[in-house]
Amino acid sequence: MDRPYHHEACDGCPEKLVCRCLHVTESQVIRMIERLELRTVRDLRQYTGAGDGCTCCHAQLEEYLEKFGCAAVESIAIG
Ligand code: FES
């Protein structure tokens, strides 16, 4: 029996999942942080859906915000 398309796509997907509940990938999270200058997990939840399930990815979402968000860029610029 054939498996549904989305399962096959996930099996072969090279993307790292950050939020398993909502199937949000690392590249989606980073892209949204950088493009929209997101600052909070609430922002990420609103624009990507990441973190709207079990919430166990929130600590990791915070790390992405610290690493790729405006605060990180400002601290690098100030030196
Ligand atoms: S893993 Fe992100 S909400 Fe569950």
Which has more confidence, 9 or 57?
A: 57
Q: What are the chain's domains?
A: 5-78 (1.10.10.1100)
Spell out the SS3 assignment of the chain.
Answer: CCCCHHHHHHHCCCCCEEECCCCEEHHHHHHHHHHHCCCCHHHHHHHHCCCCCCCCCHHHHHHHHHHHCHHHHHHHHHC
Structure confidence by residue, pLDDT tens digits, 3-39: 444 444 456 667 899 999 999 999 999 999 999 999 9
Band (pLDDT 50/70/90 cuts) for residue 2 is very low
pTM confidence score: 0.76
Distance (angstroms) between ligand 1 centre and the Cα of 2 equals 28
pLDDT value at residue 36: 95
Which has more confidence, 74 or 59?
A: 59
Q: To test the ligand 1 pocket, which listed residue (21, 45, 62) has its Cβ within 8 A of the most ligand atoms? A: 21
Distance (angstroms) between ligand 1 centre and the Cα of 35 equals 22
